[in-house]
Amino acid sequence: FGETQKGELVDYADHPLAQYSAISVTNYNEEGMRISIDSYDDDMELRSKSVYAFEGKKLSSIKEYDGDGELDYESNLTYDSKTGKLIEQVNQSYSKYGPYLIHYKYSYDKDGTLHGETYREDGTAEKWSVQETMKKGKLQKRVQCNEQGEPTIITLFDDEERIISVMNKTTDVTYVY
């Protein structure tokens, strides 16, 4: 309930915090924004830490560190200074198991549909789109579609624009908050 609790972390397969044979602790700020995730392995040693930075309510960066505190991944987001809309995102993995660099560029058409282009290190590019539904000026639904216009990820929001659920049609996984 938002209060710090003292105690030992215990690895139970049916524990509500257990995820992929690990325990993850997610921390939020007073506005309900996720600011960090600490993940522990089966021996309850810190496996990774993710830190989220914001400019106001806009996510500006994500940095993920391995158990030794080394930067493993980062994502930096850029917004248009006039419209406040996301226009660019650069994701870079420094992992020895799979380093990569992916660059996203975003544009918006007159009806508000977001169009994205994904550029990979190998020179390949992929186009996709995101359609958003607003209610009284607030985001209610976001549908990400592939190049063929088929929905791949559907995200629902409450009246305060907080995420209620995320459904990934590609992996058939749904998260409900």
pLDDT at 95 over 80: yes
The string of pLDDT tens digits covering residues 23-65 is 889 999 888 889 999 998 877 889 899 999 999 889 999 999 9
- CA–CA gap between residue 50 and residue 39 (Å, rounded): 9
User: Could you tell me the pLDDT band of residue 153, with boundaries at 50, 70 and 90?
Assistant: very high
pLDDT of residue 6: 67
User: Could you tell me the pLDDT band of residue 157, with boundaries at 50, 70 and 90?
Assistant: very high
pLDDT of residue 132: 85
More confident residue, 18 or 122: 122
| HSE-up (13 A, CA, CB side) for residue 122 | 3
pLDDT at 112 over 60: yes
Q: What is the pTM assigned to this prediction?
A: 0.66
pLDDT of residue 2: 61
Beta carbons of 87 and 78 less than 8 angstroms apart: yes
Which residues make Cβ contacts (< 8 Å) with residue 66, sequence separation at least 6? 47, 48, 72
- CA–CA gap between residue 79 and residue 62 (Å, rounded): 15
Beta carbons of 23 and 17 less than 8 angstroms apart: yes
Mean per-residue pLDDT, 110-127: 87
User: Could you tell me the pLDDT band of residue 8, with boundaries at 50, 70 and 90?
Assistant: low
Residue from 172, 174, 127 nearest 149 by CA:
127
Beta carbons of 79 and 88 less than 8 angstroms apart: no
More confident residue, 21 or 133: 133
Burial (0-12, 13-18, 19+ Cβ within 10 Å), 92: middle
- CA–CA gap between residue 13 and residue 89 (Å, rounded): 36
User: Could you tell me the pLDDT band of residue 4, with boundaries at 50, 70 and 90?
Assistant: low
The two three-digit tokens of residue 175, written as one number: 């998260």
Beta carbons of 62 and 50 less than 8 angstroms apart: yes
- CA–CA gap between residue 27 and residue 158 (Å, rounded): 20
